[in-house]
A and B are shown apart, each in its own frame.
Chain A
């Protein structure tokens, strides 16, 4: 417990150093776009698969739960609301944590144990600005886009299941789904995604920079990065949802 608090303190200090570094040094140009694309393109196939199968289950379970109660109308509504408001941002975030987050933690961790981070410092280049900033920009640019893609894939998969497996009426499903979502929901989804992205990036890089020695150190750093960022994202999700949706529907 004490070590957790100490860890949070250290993370806070690191964030402060990061903020300072970004303000003073800005970021290396040209690398930004490359980083953003790398993160986006590599994550896309996985995102598509996961979003699709979450959509299918959303439809299956929604059907099971609501068909007896209120017929098709509720199913469409449930799928759209739950999917767009909560599941899509979380899926996108979880997948970025799993793919990009672990990569960041392990890449930076390996650099740390092979003294490359020290080398940067000795060559008078701030490692935080050089290593973290491009990744951060990449994630912040990509995550909202990935969230929107997740929404569409998820809803399409749910639609497919509803029509072909469950035998529902396609037009009605779309109509009820559309009724329940507003454009602002997409915006909120993007906002959530950016929060999650910032959390994942900073936490993963933090663990990379504080990597212990040897291969075990890298393994541990990667491990901690993905678990910590996932948990924090889901906890924050509640508060953000409360802020965006609570009582102001």
Chain B
């Protein structure tokens, strides 16, 4: 249901994406990895229609995000949830107001109480119960990601996108976020698309891995096959980390507030 066909995108003289074709398997977790600046975020932005390709199509639920008018784009986006790098929360609002924002705008049939109940439910899911009233500016980095994730899933979307969920986090918090994503995956069973440069976490949680390098899609395989690929660039990238994991780690209970 999400597919890039022959997508090419340049910024000035730099070609960031060259003739990329990629089909995202529904209901599973796909990671898009690669060194910095290879167009991972750009790919994500194409999927949600924040960027439009120079050539090619971006099909989401049958709509071509590259050419659709705003009203069509909006219809498709209501089926997405996205976690931005720093959470992209609105500082002028409380945590609860942030998370209920999509509900207020798109679920007007819900009463105030119903909305509050839904928000509290999602907050509990991401491991931050009871902080509905907190001001957003008082949150730590890890907490912002969790709140951002709660907002991304509050409309119960079919697809959740993660833009570098581990960026800017210390190792312990980073592990906690990985664990959270794993939990969400098991709890929700919907399509996840994760952009990452953190190879360990990715291998643990993703069902499929796509690798971008130099503007090309150099590999796209189920995880088990990906880690055994002989492609030199893939090998080099994987070996940046010490050990290749044998399988998913034990998922610890969420550690609560950092």
Residue positions of A touching B, CB distance < 8 A: 24, 111, 114-116, 118-119, 121-126
Contacts and interface: CB of A to CB of B under 8 A. Distances in A.
Nearest to A118: B50
A121 B89 contact: no
B84 A118 contact: yes
Contacts of B73: 124
Given A122-B48, A124-B105, A125-B101, 11 more contacts: A115-B86, A115-B88, A116-B88, A118-B45, A122-B50, A122-B77, A123-B77, A123-B106, A124-B73, A124-B77, A126-B70
Interface string B71-86: 1011101101010111
Interface size class of B (residues with CB under 8 A): 20 to 34
Interface string B92-133: 000000000110011000000000000000000000000000
A119 B50 contact: no
Contact of B82 (A114, A119, A125): A119
Nearest to B84: A115
Interface of B: 45, 48-50, 70-71, 73-75, 77-78, 80, 82, 84-86, 88-90, 101-102, 105-106
A111 B92 CA distance: 11
Nearest to B92: A107
B102 A123 contact: yes
Per CB-CB distance, the 10 closest pairs between chain A and chain B, nearest first, are A119-B88, A124-B74, A115-B88, A124-B77, A115-B84, A122-B82, A116-B88, A123-B102, A122-B48, A124-B78
14 contacts: A114-B86, A115-B84, A115-B85, A116-B88, A118-B45, A118-B88, A119-B84, A121-B48, A121-B77, A122-B50, A123-B102, A123-B105, A124-B78, A125-B101
B88 A114 contact: yes
Contact of A116 (B74, B78, B82, B90): B90
Contacts of A114: 86, 88
A19 to B, nearest CB: 13
A23 to B, nearest CB: 12
Given A114-B88, A118-B84, A119-B82, A124 B106 contact: yes
Contacts of A111: 90
Contacts of A126: 70
A121 B50 contact: yes
A123 B157 CA distance: 11
A126 B77 CA distance: 12
A121 B45 CA distance: 11
B89 A116 contact: yes
A233 B162 CA distance: 44
A114 B136 CA distance: 14
> Which of B45, B48, B70, B71 has the largest number of chain A CB atoms within 10 A?
B70
Nearest to B45: A118
Nearest to B154: A123
Contacts of B90: 111, 116
Contact of B105 (A115, A118, A125): A125
Contacts of A123: 77, 101-102, 105-106
> Which of A24, A111, A122, A126 has the largest number of chain B CB atoms within 10 A?
A122
Nearest to A125: B105
Contacts of B89: 116
A126 B88 CA distance: 16
Contacts of B101: 123, 125
A135 to B, nearest CB: 13
A88 B88 CA distance: 41
Nearest to B163: A115
B88 to A, nearest CB: 4
Contacts of B49: 121
A109 to B, nearest CB: 13
Nearest to A130: B105
A102 B80 CA distance: 34
